[in-house]
A and B are shown apart, each in its own frame.
Chain A
Amino acid sequence: MSACNTPAALLSSAELPKSPEGDPVFAEPWQAVAFAMTVRLHEKGVFSWSEWAEALSAELYRPGRKADASDYYDCWVAALSRLVTELAIASGRELETLTKSWQRAAEATPHGRPIILENDPLR
């Protein structure tokens, strides 16, 4: 990825965990995937910066956050899901159904095979 592609806008997201060099840091791989998807959607103009900032704030400043902020990317995913439903890309129910489907697919996948959605026995 070239320097001009760096997700400068998303790096200004409120409270984003960063390294001393200013790069985003992730505790687990899914967090990096969530970040990357948001970068792409924003780059493509699926939502504006202010739409994103607003959705993220709504989740970050919700009561009941963890004191150590270890749920930062849980909030991020909630904000992204909210935008996806608000923009009618998918319904909340669709996302829930797919989430459960992925979980069943993982459980049904034997070791050594890639986990694919088709492995969900109920699909």
Chain B
Amino acid sequence: MSEHHHGAGEGHDHHHDNHFTDMEARVKALETVLTEKGLIDPAAIDAIVETYETKVGPRNGARVVARAWSDPEFADWLRRDATAAIASLGFTGRQGEHMRAVFNTPETHNLVVCTLCSCYPWAVLGLPPVWYKAPPYRSRAVIDPRGVLAEFGLELPAEKKIRVWDSTAELRYLVVPERPQGTDGFGEDALAALVTRDSMIGTGLALSPEEER
């Protein structure tokens, strides 16, 4: 069983959901010309960019999660007002302003979908996976989240509920994964190292200390 949630603002009429900065548009223009002339293949470019997945943006979501695992008061604040809680760590920016944190529990797993108009909060989460852009992923994740997760190698127990969250132009989601076992006494740096991009969009879990090594 699954539920599909929309963030606040759904149903409003937004004419400017998407925007490219001058540099973003210039790079798209170059990509278009070079692709048309057969000089580059966008899939090959995506493949190169994916190898730099961990080198793009401040990727400060892992620190937010590590703080929430370590500090119950911060976790509570994050649950009530993620935007302010994240900003309190000094993480603000064009893409990170309006966030909501959804917490995984033993009963519930959260999954975020988005087709990457411009609402993916890369400053917090890091680069999105290439497949995340595919429109079929979004629709299938809504209809059959358990099946999609299984394809990514994440088999969840049948009794675990899956909630699917749909990013909007105003509100972006951060999944706070469950803290892995065997991490008692870990400092925030060690904890942050366990928080993968996939665990913060819900297509994976946080690493165990053994997996991280």
A and B together in one complex:
yes
Question: Which chain A residues have a beta carbon within 8 Å of chain B's beta carbons?
Answer: 1, 7, 19, 23-37, 39-41, 44, 46, 73-74, 77, 80-81, 84, 89-90, 94-96, 98-103, 106-107, 109-115, 117
Give the residues in chain A near B52, CB-CB below 8 Å: 23-24, 26, 32, 35-36
Contact A102 B30 (CB under 8 A): no
When each residue 125-143 of chain B gets 1 if its CB lies under 8 Å from chain A and 0 otherwise, what string results?
A: 0010000010100100000
Give the residues in chain B near A90, CB-CB below 8 Å: 33, 37
* Top 9 A-B pairs, shortest CB-CB distance: A98-B29, A36-B48, A111-B17, A106-B20, A102-B25, A102-B28, A99-B29, A90-B33, A106-B18
Is B158 part of the binding interface, using a Cβ–Cβ cutoff of 8 Å?
no
Q: Which of B47, B56, B166 is within 8 Å of A1, CB to CB?
A: B47
When each residue 114-127 of chain B gets 1 if its CB lies under 8 Å from chain A and 0 otherwise, what string results?
A: 11111100100001
Contact A95 B26 (CB under 8 A): yes
Interface size range on B against A: 35 or more
**Known A32-B127, A99-B29, A114-B135; 13 more pairs at CB < 8 Å:** A28-B56, A32-B56, A36-B45, A80-B30, A81-B26, A89-B34, A90-B37, A95-B26, A98-B33, A101-B29, A112-B138, A112-B166, A115-B20
In the complex, what distance in Å separates the CA atom of A80 from the CA atom of B21? 18
Give the residues in chain B near A81, CB-CB below 8 Å: 26, 30
